Amino acid sequence: MLRIWKNELYDGFNCITSACPSNCCDEDWCISVDQKTYEALSELMGDINDKISSERPHTLIKKDHKCPFITDDGLCSIHADYGEEFLSNTCRSYPRFVSGYGDVYTMTIGLSCPEVARMIVSTDRIIRFTSEVLYESKNEKGKKLPKLESEVVMERTLSLFNKDRSALESFSCLGEEYIGFHDGIINSNIDEIMLKLRDIASEIGAVEQYDTLKLGNMHISMDDIKRVDVELKKHYPFLAQNICRCYLFERIMYNENVVNKDYADTFKKAEIYLLLFYCVLISNGIVAEFESDVVTDLLYRTMRLIDHNENIIELLSE
């Protein structure tokens, strides 16, 4: 018996391939290639060790930051020449993510993909996370799968991030439920956070992304953050809530895999996550003019800075 939790946008995602403004194959990310795919490709193509490292774990050897299998048209030559079944697990699944917690599985999609960001920006309601129980044998019918602690916290938390509140108001409600939480990030000095972010970006080699998001010379006050929270909700009533819901859904469930579950820490990180997006909006000067293509562009690029440099949120949280 399994329970599957799914982001409702999961099934509707389709990669836009050569129409993508920032193909994930052009990014300097470390892409692992599973053993089965490595062997299958070696058999088909002969010596591929200049494109995929021979030592385990196998990884793509990027050329000028690009995947060695990408064509001039931005298409995948493995997909075109041999078919989808020869793609590595990572390439086949991105930006979809599946995680398992015993008998409970979550299926979601990452906002660092421009097409996912476009879907989130254009969604005109709160995104739902649906759950479904799958029975593996007839004997299981009618039995109940008890809820994990993280599932209970996740459902309760997501119910606070609803259409009636702005995202910052939802964090305040969360603060009331988890005493002491709001002594943290929301009352902090934003300038200090941005300075720290600069240090972290340079430490992890993400300065280029940091600079293109114009995060360099920022003087942002808490009032600016509150203003953008209100303005964004006027133009995109569900966007900030949906960004938080996607993050919280995934990250609260991760607690299930750790011994000392620290939900308050997860909430703080979610707030930093949102705060960084607000800072990017402010630093790009679009508090009043929220065109959807610009918001989409800034959203996926902010998420690339964060999602593919996992340490950023961890270090800022410290």
Applying CB under 6 A, the residues found at the interface with ligand SF4 are 15-17, 20, 23-24, 94-95, 113-115
Q: What residues contact residue 271 under an 8 Å CB cut-off, 6+ apart? A: 171, 184, 185, 186
**Residue whose CB is less far from ligand SF4, 96 or 165:** 96
**Residue whose CB is less far from ligand SF4, 248 or 303:** 303
Question: CB of 197: closest distance to ligand SF4 in angstroms?
Answer: 24
**Strands 104-109 and 129-134, sheet pairing:** unpaired
Question: CB of 307: closest distance to ligand SF4 in angstroms?
Answer: 12
Question: CB of 302: closest distance to ligand SF4 in angstroms?
Answer: 15
Measured distance CA(232)–CA(236) in Å, rounded: 6
**Residue whose CB is less far from ligand SF4, 190 or 306:** 306
Specify whether the CB–CB gap between 303 and 111 falls below 8 A: yes
Which helix (H) or strand (E) segment holds residue 297: the answer is helix 292-307
Question: CB of 151: closest distance to ligand SF4 in angstroms?
Answer: 28
**Residue whose CB is less far from ligand SF4, 266 or 309:** 309
**Residue whose CB is less far from ligand SF4, 1 or 20:** 20
Place of tokens 């008998």: 103
Which letter does DSSP use for residue 109 in this model? E
Question: CB of 231: closest distance to ligand SF4 in angstroms?
Answer: 28
Specify whether the CB–CB gap between 261 and 150 falls below 8 A: yes
Q: What residues contact residue 317 under an 8 Å CB cut-off, 6+ apart? A: 185, 265, 268, 269, 272
Place of tokens 């200049």: 50
